[in-house]
Chain A
Amino acid sequence: MKRQTLITLAGLIAFALATAATDVIGAPDSPLQSPATPLHPDFALLDASGVNVLESGQSVSTMRTCGQCHDTGFIETHAFHSDLGLRDFAASKESWDASPGLFGRWNPLSYRYLSQVGDERLDLGTAEWLQSNGERVVGGGPATTSRSGVLLTDLQASSEQVETSILDEQGGLTAWDWRESGTMEMNCFLCHLEAPNVLARAVAIRAGDFAKANTATLSGLGIVEESADGWAWNRAAFNEAGELKSEIADIQDPTNANCAACHGEVHPATDEPLLISACDLNYPQTATTGQVVASQRINESGVNLSGKAALNRSWDIHAERQLQCTDCHYALNNPAHVSEAQSNRPAHLRYDPRSLEINEYLRRPDHNFARGQSAQINVAPESKGSMRRCENCHEATISHQNWLPYIGTHMAALACESCHIPKLHAPAIQTYDWTVINPDGSAISDCRGVDGTPNDIKSLVTGYEPVLLNRTNVDGQTLLAPYNLITTFYWVYEDAKGNQRPVRLIDLKSAFLDNGSYAADIIAAFDADHDGQLSRGERVVNSPEKEALVKRKLSALGMAKVRIEGQVQPYSINHNVTRGEYALSDCTDCHNNPSRVTQSMKLAGFAPVMPAFDGANNVSGSGEIKIGVDGALSYSPVPANDSVYVFGSSRVSLIDAFGALAFVGTLFGVLGHGSLRYLASRRRPAHAHTHTQRVHMYDAYRRFWHWLQATSIVILLLTGLIIHRPDIFGIFSFEGVVTLHNILAVILVVNAALSLFYHLATERMREYIPRPYGFFDDSIRQAKYYISGIFKGEPHPFEKRPDDRMNPIQKLTYFGILNVLLPLQIATGALMWGVQKWPEFANAFGGLPILAPFHALVAWLFASFIVGHVYLTTTGATPLEGIRGMVTGYEEVEAHDEKSGQ
């Protein structure tokens, strides 16, 4: 009870200060004051029994008051903000999470665990849950209703039950009488008043005066003040009929500031430099991701930010362009926003004009709000993806048409945020390590994106680049999207019923602390430098001895199977969007090595245990969690595990190794063969030259298509190599190289087709077709020549004639190249190029992850062929005669007289 008094006292002081502050801020001609909404009429404030508060002097009942015109019952039952998971609350054998919402899902950052019925140890009873979370709980749902559905005020106070008991400082259980404390109805004022008194409300909630919370929200606004015997309503704020004047209670659509009160940093004013409360769980969205909703330019803010001068963009383009939270997160039946889901709409209808009349909507506004696809909040899956996302408002194909190649491919693989939120310029939580606690009972925590302590103006905020993870949307589409990863470590035990539970904070305090400072045995074990203090760096379980000590102490408190667990949770980043100018737009940001797609993220400076990637969401944690040489833990995405192939970044090393081996093998082969030929010719007596004759071997068209094809193939191989490994060939423009590659591919295909037509039309195709008769014998003769005859200066076994230029092995090789390699390369290349327009064709063959490595493999084989091909041109009458023939058309060939030939 002493604690309660202290809290109340502190609360009163805070309240007084807040009242003074609102007086200053709310000065009558303050430019920030918007004119009263004329739409909302004066209304009577009713208490719980429906009597005007002016008569009864009681607390106001929002359900009764607003229920005079609005269907408050409907609103409360159609509001996830109120329900918070109560409806789905059910104990689970597999998980300690009883619901997906704030009421029932354990959050390792806030740590305290909402105990379930029958738990061995009570951590948070419902009342204390409300006390500690209530500032960000709208009311209604678990604030008025028990898990079984009866009203909390109907429960008998008993220290035996989790819903009616509370854990005291000493670890004992005290009964909680809900009839005395009252409960907290859904608080309409919190979101629909411009400046609700959230501070006074918080004071009431923390003190457990739940019945007072909603009335406290109106205090300090000239409507009501707390008095010794309840509430003193200010008659002057009411009209003659006893109704609250609409100009005093300015009922309005929720503003960004209303949302900000619970969700995170929002900065509506433009002139005052923005300051951020970073890594502060009172601003959860900002704490977990660094997202700040502000229209101000980053360089005009008050943040001590690295490279700030150049950051002349706004924190959030949508805030800058005057969008409000409610423009995207609107009430689902708001007739101004509602549109039939694409999936429900008949194909022949563009627009269905039937929607709610505005008065019907105002009576029963759905308080489930449109929302995106984000991962960390697994709540209300039925409204997931109900929001208009980027692509519903923006025509990305038009805005990117002037520069982005393969628009369709990029859009099918990347969420807009991946490029348009390249960096967060505020710190975000990185690690919460509960395996050791600070003397004040907080976790050992780390923030990313800041050098030093967050919120200290001397600390330089560096910001951080999010990690890209594959997210599966409700429509089944998977896209890479930006995330912050928060890693938590904590002790877990198993209770008598075999339920896994996080070790209670009160038990951790018992184990670690002794009268608010570290216990002697903890200091003895953890104090590495023996100075009698535990510095920040020493507060870590990094040896089996320390782990054993804590385990022993926790076991001594009666807990079984104590162990450390850890998890990595993805927090999705969707705000702080920037316009194209500042977005990632350099191809080699991703098409490179290192690549943004594989960029890793630090998870923790030290890992007492390998954490598991939280799987209870729509995000793929298929990457690797690794401990680096410095002991730091990091997460590296492996896109290939999610069937994502990024040119220039992804590669199959086995194929590259094999290909390189084939290429180098061929190179060494021909070098060896050539050297031997050279040595043999040196040793051979300079006997008479073989008789040669000048033959018109290649007509002009053949030479032209050959050299065009040769040039195309060589440049295709080179550009392909650059696209494959831009990290080695950084001097080339990736975009230019891709364009050149595609152009050459078209030239190659057209050239091959024309050449095919030429050979078919002129019957020269015959030259390429191996004659089956005696083919093997002939091939062996030719092979024997290359193996031995050529070294002895023997003549070629087959005559090279304009109408039959190729030997059997040559024919076989070309047969393979032209019928297998070339078509395969053209087909895989075309499919890869076609991904932007007809991804279904590419996907039928396994998509880029199969096609691209295959294309690379065939390219290696082509490269090897070219080495061999060029070498074999030197086996003519003289080493350069073959090439000369292909250049000039005339070649000196061995004259085979009729007899010596065949």
Chain B
Amino acid sequence: MKKPFPAWILGLLGIFLLILAPFAYYQWPKSTNDDPAAHLPIKAVHVDHVDIVKGEFKTGQDVTRACLVCHPDAAAELMRTTHWTWESKAFNVPWREGPVTIGKINQINNFCIGSQGNENKCMSCHAGYGWEAGKQAQQANPENVDCLACHADPGSYGKGVFGNPAEGVDLLAAARSVRATTRENCGKCHFDGGGGNGVKHGDLDESMYFPDQALDVHMGGKHNMQCSACHTTSKHQILGRLIADNYTIDPREQVSCEQCHSGKVHQDERISLHLSAVACQTCHIPAMALEDPTKLTWDWSKAGQQGREDDHFSYLKIKGEFTFDQNVKPEYRWFNGNNEYRYLLGDKISEDGPTYINKPAGSISDASAKIFPFKVHVARQPYDTVNRHLLQPVTSGKDGFWTTFDWNKSFEMAVPITGLAYSGQYDFTETHMYWATTHMVQPAKDALQCDACHSAAGKPGRMDWKALGYAGDPIEWGGRK
């Protein structure tokens, strides 16, 4: 006989439900912030190319042709990016008629000054081959796209003159090592920008190949994030723009902390109140160049001096005098993500005070601006004392300044290339360039605390409140209205 289902089991379940339901209600973990790590992009599974790639490769272009067999759109995609063009989209700027573009291809900075006429050296960081053919021809040919620079194991690949593979590189081995980009690929150019480790950026240097968590909480520690985790990429178009080579930047083109960190990120309401005026980076990057020093000043006027001993951190005959520093406190400015000004080739220099190569936009009255940390690179670089614009020398090559140490000649050589007038008279002037500090984000426990900026005792902290436009320390005078 089939036993009827014992009703008492239902009763028992009811009893437990009656007890457990309220307990669960009270004990259920209170809503927690969503896990930032959940926003990390999911990486495609690596396909080992060792058995796929066959030789033989004599030139870089041979490799690219092989890549394009399976990845036919890759070159066309890349050629639409600034990694290829080295040039921004066209901007209308108030101090010039007609649209202008900004990039390493046509403008100058205050490090090695400019790439025009110096392609044999500068293009070792360009994602393309064949610069010996000249800009027009080089840019037109999809086979010039250098897939290996970003996708080969940097241990098996390196670039030499005119963007071509370095002498002696085993191109087959390099091509077989291809994979998704790593910190090492990006770091090859971005950690050594400006001609050496930590020269350009205070927040990006070779210490980040294998960073500790205390150095960079994202790239070090448990997440071991690669650059592409934040600089998400679609069709070779990489998210993130530098203000150094742009005028304004659409926020949608920019990497932001909010990609992963959203909601109530601080428990302390007092800290949350800061968020409308203070960028995340300001507190979470208390200092840059934590391990490797970064270049802070560069005096070109001292270049070429006879009999001075070369020293990587203080003087090189070809480049002049520098200062480097470690554990550098950033400088703080209002910043809305754009430049207020970007020096364009031919712009007049400032007659009072330094000439700004770029100047971040924003002020206390700009609601979209926040206080943001910058590295300010101060240089003394050449200008035409008659035409009163900055000069771009030809430095590389057998007749360049680095060989002849003849400034006049190097400026004259540049005239047909840049089209910039040179009167024959030059001197040196101070130039400032701003670099946003956004990497080397340190663990929350090392973030700035109140007394770093605020000081009721009247002793100055990190912030120059008056310069930022406040009446005084906002801890006493209140924040911006």
On whether the beta carbons of A312 and B446 are closer than 8 Å, the reply is yes
Q: Which B residues are CB-close (under 8 A) to A269?
A: 459
Judge if B471 is at the interface, Cβ distance under 8 Å.
no
Q: Mark A386-426, 1 if CB is under 8 A from B, else 0.
A: 00000000000000001000000000000000000000000
Residues of B within 8 A of A277 (CB): none
* Chain B CB within 8 A of A152 CB: no
| Contact of A758 with B by CB under 8 A | no
A448→B450 CA distance, assembly (Å): 31
- Find residues 293-314 in chain A having any chain B CB closer than 8 Å to their own CB: 295-297, 312, 314
Determine if A689 is an interface residue (Cβ-Cβ < 8 Å). no
The answer to whether A35 touches B26, judged by C-beta atoms less than 8 angstroms apart, is no
Stretch from A94-102, A320-328, A669-677 contacting the other chain: A320-328
Q: Which residues of A contact B6 (CB under 8 A)?
A: 888
**Across the interface, do A703 and B11 meet the contact criterion of CB distance under 8 Å?**
yes
Q: Are B15 and A736 in contact (CB under 8 A)?
A: no
Contact A322 B8 (CB under 8 A): no
Once bound together, how far apart are the Cα atoms of A746 and B270, in whole Å? Answer: 39
A322 touching B454, Cβ below 8 Å? yes
Whether a CB of chain A sits under 8 angstroms from the CB of B460 is yes
Q: Say yes or no: B15 contacts A31, CB within 8 Å.
A: no
Of the listed stretches A44-52, A570-578, A737-745, A760-768, name the one at the interface; the rest are far from the partner chain. Answer: A737-745
Bound-state Cα–Cα, A740 to B25, Å:
11
Interface positions, chain B 425-481, Cβ under 8 Å from A, are 445-446, 449-452, 454-461, 475
- Cβ of B30 and Cβ of A402 under 8 Å apart? yes
In the complex, B306 has a CB within 8 A of chain A:
no
Contact of A736 among B27, B268, B452, B456 (CB under 8 A): B27
Tell me if A320 and B449 are in contact (CB < 8 A). yes
Q: Which of A702-723 contact B (CB under 8 A)?
A: 703-704, 707-708, 711-712, 715
Contacts of A744 in B (CB 8 A): 19
Q: Which partner residue on chain B sits nearest A709 by CB separation?
A: B15
Question: What mask results when residues 1 to 42 of chain B are scored 1 for a CB within 8 Å of chain A, else 0?
Answer: 000001110011011101100110011001000000000000
Task: Check B450–A268 contact: CB distance below 8 A.
Answer: no
**Could you give, for residues 127-165 of chain B, a 1 whenever the CB lies within 8 Å of some chain A CB and a 0 otherwise?**
000000000000000000000000000000000000000
Contacts A312-B446, A314-B449, A703-B8: A324 and B15 contacting too (C-beta < 8 A)? no
Complex Cα spacing A700 to B7, Å: 10
User: Within the complex, what minimum Cβ distance (angstroms) separates B384 from chain A?
Assistant: 37
Q: Does A319 contact B (CB under 8 A)?
A: yes
How many A residues face the partner with a CB closer than 8 A?
40
Q: Are B19 and A704 in contact (CB under 8 A)?
A: no
Q: Which residues of A contact B460 (CB under 8 A)?
A: 31
**Chain B 22-69 interface residues, beta-carbon cutoff 8 Å to A:** 22-23, 26-27, 30
Shortest beta-carbon distance from A488 to chain B in Å: 37
Residue of B nearest to A35 (CB): B458
A322-B475, A708-B15 known; A314+B451 contact, CB < 8 A: yes
Alpha-carbon gap, A255 to B455, bound state (A): 12
Complex CA distance for A579 and B269, rounded to whole angstroms: 13
Nearest B residue to A403, CB-CB: B30
Interface residues in A275-296 by Cβ distance below 8 A to B read 295-296
A295, A296, A312, A743: the one contacting B19 at CB < 8 Å is: A743
The reply on A116 being an interface residue by CB < 8 A is: no
Closest B residue, CB atoms, query A887 = B8
Known: A320-B450, A743-B22. A268 touches B459 (CB 8 A): yes
A581 to chain B: which residues have CB within 8 Å?
267
In the assembled complex, the Cα of A551 lies from the Cα of B459 at a distance in Å of 57
State whether the Cβ of A747 lies closer than 8 Å to any Cβ in chain B: yes
Given A322-B455, A324-B457, A736-B27; A297-B18 close (CB under 8 Å)? no
Closest to A710 in B: B15
Q: How far is the CA of A31 from the CA of B460 in the complex (A)?
A: 7
Check B27 against A322 for contact (C-beta < 8 Å).
no
- Given the known interface contacts A270-B451, A314-B449, the answer about A34 and B458 at a Cβ–Cβ threshold of 8 Å is yes
A652 within 8 A of B: no
A268 and B22 form a contact (CB under 8 A): no
Asked if A13 is an interface residue, CB under 8 A from chain B, the answer is no
Q: Are A739 and B23 in contact (CB under 8 A)?
A: yes
A322 contact set on B, CB distance < 8 A? 450-451, 454-457, 475
Whole-angstrom distance between the Cβ of B471 and the nearest chain A Cβ = 15
Mark out the residues of chain A between 471 and 497 whose CB falls within 8 Å of any chain B CB in the assembled complex.
Answer: none
A32 beta carbon closer than 8 Å to chain B: yes
Tell whether, in the assembled complex, residue B8 and residue A743 are in contact, meaning their CB atoms are under 8 Å apart.
Answer: no
Check if A319 sits within 8 Å of B451, measured CB to CB: yes
Minimum CB distance partner of A297 in chain B = B449
B11 and A707 within 8 A (CB) = yes
Note all chain B residues with C-beta closer than 8 A to A320: 449-451
Q: Which residues of B contact A887 (CB under 8 A)?
A: 8
Asked if A32 and B459 sit within 8 Å, CB to CB, the answer is yes
Most chain-A CB neighbours within 10 Å: which of B14, B15, B454, B457?
B457
Tell me the smallest distance from the CB of B271 to a CB of chain A, in Å: 11
Judge if A215 is at the interface, Cβ distance under 8 Å: no
Q: In the complex, what residues of A have CB within 8 A of residue B30's CB?
A: 402
Residue A256, interface by CB 8 Å: yes
Residue among B6, B459, B461 facing the most chain A CB atoms (10 A cut-off): B459
Q: Is the CB of B457 within 8 A of A256?
A: yes
Please state if B449 and A324 are interface contacts (CB–CB under 8 Å). Answer: no
Expressed in whole angstroms, the Cα–Cα distance for A739 and B12 within the complex equals 22
Q: A576–B420 Cα gap in the complex (Å)?
A: 64
| Distance, CA A736 to CA B29, complexed state (A) | 11
Name the residue on B nearest A255 (C-beta): B457
Distance in Å: Cβ of B27 to nearest Cβ of chain A = 6
In the bound complex, CA of A505 to CA of B475 (Å): 52
Closest to B460 in A: A31
A34 to B460, CA, bound (A): 8
Q: Which residue of A lies closest to B30 (CB)?
A: A402
Interface contact B18-A747, CB-CB below 8 Å: yes
B458 touches A268 (CB 8 A): no
CB neighbors of B among A568-603 (8 A):
579, 581
Decide: B459 and A31 in contact? CB cutoff 8 A: yes
Pairwise interchain contact A707-B12, C-beta atoms closer than 8 A? yes
**Contacting residues, chain B, for A700 (C-beta < 8 A):** 7, 11
- Please determine whether A704 and B454 come into contact, CB atoms closer than 8 angstroms: no
**Given contact pairs A32-B459, A312-B446, A704 touches B451 in the complex (Cβ within 8 A):** no
CA distance A322 to B472 in the complex (A): 14
Pick the most buried of B8, B267, B270: most chain A CB atoms within 10 A of its CB. B8
With both chains docked as a complex, state the minimum distance between the C-beta of B286 and any C-beta of chain A, in angstroms: 11
Given A268-B457, A268-B459 in contact, is the A704-B11 Cβ separation under 8 Å?
yes
Contact indicator A747/B19 (Cβ below 8 Å):
yes
How many angstroms between the C-alpha atoms of A747 and B14 in the bound complex? 13
Q: Which residue of B lies closest to A746 (CB)?
A: B22
Say yes or no: A704-B450 contact (C-beta < 8 A), given A34-B459, A322-B455. no
A744 to B449, CA, bound (A): 45
The complex places the Cα of A736 from the Cα of B27 at a distance, in Å, of 7
Give the contacts of A1-42 with B (CB-CB under 8 A): 31-32, 34-35
Q: For residue B455, which residues in chain A have a CB less than 8 angstroms away from its CB?
A: 322
Q: Do B15 and A711 touch across chains, with their CB atoms under 8 A apart?
A: yes
Q: A256-B457, A314-B449 are in contact. List 4 more A-B contacts (CB 8 A).
A: A322-B450, A581-B267, A746-B22, A747-B22
Interface residues of A (CB under 8 A from B): 31-32, 34-35, 255-256, 268-270, 295-297, 312, 314, 319-324, 402, 579, 581, 700, 703-704, 707-708, 711-712, 715, 736, 739-740, 743-744, 746-747, 887-888
- A-B residue pairs in contact (CB < 8 Å), sample of 19: A34-B457, A34-B459, A35-B458, A268-B459, A270-B451, A296-B451, A312-B445, A320-B450, A321-B454, A322-B457, A323-B456, A324-B457, A711-B15, A736-B27, A739-B23, A743-B19, A743-B23, A743-B26, A747-B18
Q: Which 6 pairs from chain A and chain B are nearest by CB?
A: A322-B456, A34-B458, A295-B451, A312-B445, A887-B8, A743-B22
Using CB atoms and an 8 Å cutoff, list the residues of chain B in contact with chain A.
Answer: 6-8, 11-12, 14-16, 18-19, 22-23, 26-27, 30, 267-268, 270, 445-446, 449-452, 454-461, 475
